[in-house]
Amino acid sequence: MAAMRLVLSAAYWAFFALSVIALFPIAVVLWALTRPFDRRGVVLHRFTSWWGWMYSACNPGWRIEVTGRERFRPDEVYVVVANHQSLLDILVLFRLFRHFRWVSKVENFRIPFVGQVMRMNRYIEIVRGRRESVRRMMRQCTESLNAGSSVLIFPEGTRSETGELRPFKPGAFELARVTGRPILPVVVSGTAGALPKRGFVLRGRHDIRVEVLEEIPADELKDLTPQQLSARVRERIAARLRELGDPAPVLSAPRESPRAG
């Protein structure tokens, strides 16, 4: 069984690499043709979403369900926050088929062809642990939101070693307060078991779920600090993970401080 998983995993990643090379020229042509009139990059991101969907759809062992997609209203601009269990989160979140820009670690922008497509999409890079990079990321996110593009952030900052829900950093919530944009929480469940953080060997059959929760309107944000918002949204996501019976444990978070003001 272990040998079979290795063979199937090798075949999957070989398909991934070859398809990236094959589809990259199409992305370049789309970018060049649509850039003059599609300032937000909606067309290219939709193609990239299909591209990501393809990788999650081609594995028969992943039974993926997306619910609450209608809550991600196309006419609204959100700060989208999602928990982060696995590299697969990126692929399955593309199944939302909504326009947004990722905030992603700089290492992903260095992947051949993939990084170029990310830059053409104007996704936003961050160097973890660098204050200047964080400030630049916040500035670029603000510009994207003001220009009409939602941004998607993993507030845990990185994938967990064991899949547990880590404490949330306050940056995304500060961004929502400063720009006056609603927060849209998204729950990802089941990806930690399908592809853990360490290694690239795919694991058996897994049920994976992406669920968009109710948004937190902008007018509810002004009386809360970023830390309070962070704790509140994290608890909402943690509660849903428990309801879904996600096997990954949920680390306890610091208690929410009293309301500001």
Could you tell me the sign of the dihedral formed by the alpha carbons of 233, 95, 124, 100, in that order?
negative
β-partners of residue 152 are: 80, 102
Per-residue pLDDT reduced to its tens digit, 32-70:
999 999 999 999 999 999 999 999 898 888 899 999 999
β-partners of residue 79 are: 151, 183
Q: At what angle do helices 171-179 and 131-146 cross, to 10 degrees?
A: 40
Mean pLDDT for the stretch of residues 187-194? 88
Give the chain's radius of gyration (CA, Å): 18
Q: Assess if CATH 3.40.1130 describes domain 2-244.
A: yes
Q: Report the distance separating Cα 202 and Cα 196, nearest Å.
A: 8
115: left (phi over 0), alpha (psi -120 to 50) or beta: alpha
Per-residue pLDDT reduced to its tens digit, 74-115:
999 999 999 998 888 999 999 999 999 999 999 999 999 999
Kindly report the pTM of this predicted structure. 0.90
Could you tell me the sign of the dihedral formed by the alpha carbons of 133, 134, 137, 138, in that order?
negative
C-beta separation of 73 from 97 below 8 A: no
Q: Report the distance separating Cα 43 and Cα 46, nearest Å.
A: 5
Could you tell me the residue ranges of all domains in the chain?
Answer: 2-244
